[in-house]
Amino acid sequence: MAVRALPREHGTRTRAPARPDLRVVRGSKAARRRPVLLVVLAVVTVFGVTGMHASIGQDGLRAATLERQVQKETERLSLLRAQVAQLSTAKRIADEANKLGLVADPDPSFVGDTSASPQEQAAGREQDERDQSQHRQALDTP
């Protein structure tokens, strides 16, 4: 399809539209710096948030390490308590005293526990008497 120009009518002239009166508007220096400041602020914010996340991660690792140490020390404490209970039995102490050549008192006196009921005190005395008789038998046996 071919394009042809329209014929002009005689006597009419086409005029170019009148140009508007344009002038250069100068912006302030602060307005030109604003985008640069926004970019710098955005970059600083990104680095700040990233640094905070790294710090939080390190704190989490440190907390996990401390929790493992607490667990190990708790297990160690339980073992030590069991060892103390085993070493503080009356029989073991009597055996150690015999090895050292200590002799039991034939008439021992004990400091009473005032918080115990009379039944508990009587039971304690009976147990003490049994322990003493076992100890005397152990001493008498060559």
- Which pair of structure tokens corresponds to residue 108? 């021992």
Q: What is the pLDDT of residues 2-52, one digit of tens each?
A: 667 666 666 556 666 788 888 887 767 766 677 888 999 999 999 999 999
Asked whether residue 98 falls in the same domain as residue 140, the answer is yes
**Is the Cβ–Cβ distance between 104 and 135 less than 8 Å?**
yes
Q: Which long-range contacts (CB under 8 A, 24 or more apart) does 53-60 make?
A: none
Burial class (CB in 10 A: 0-12, 13-18, 19+), 139: middle
Q: Is residue 70 part of a domain?
A: yes
DSSP output for 40-91: HHHHHHHHHHHHHHHHHHHHHHHHHHHHHHHHHHHHHHHHHHHHHHHHT-HH
Residue 16 domain-assigned (yes or no): no
Asked if 94 and 130 sit in the same domain, the reply is: yes
User: Of residues 61 and 128, which shows the higher confidence score?
Assistant: 61
* 94 and 142 part of one domain: yes
Q: Is position 49 within any domain?
A: yes
What span, in angstroms and rounded, lies between the C-alpha atoms of 44 and 52? Answer: 12
The structural domain count of the chain equals 2
Domain around 126: 89-102+120-142
Kindly give, in sequence order, each residue whose CB lies less than 8 Å from that of residue 50, ignoring residues fewer than 6 positions away: none
Q: Are 104 and 139 in contact (CB under 8 A)?
A: yes
- For the stretch 87-114, pLDDT in tens is 888 888 888 888 999 888 777 777 765 6
Q: Is residue 24 part of a domain?
A: no
Task: Give 66-82 pLDDT, tens digit per residue.
Answer: 999 999 999 999 999 99
The pTM assigned to this predicted structure is 0.39
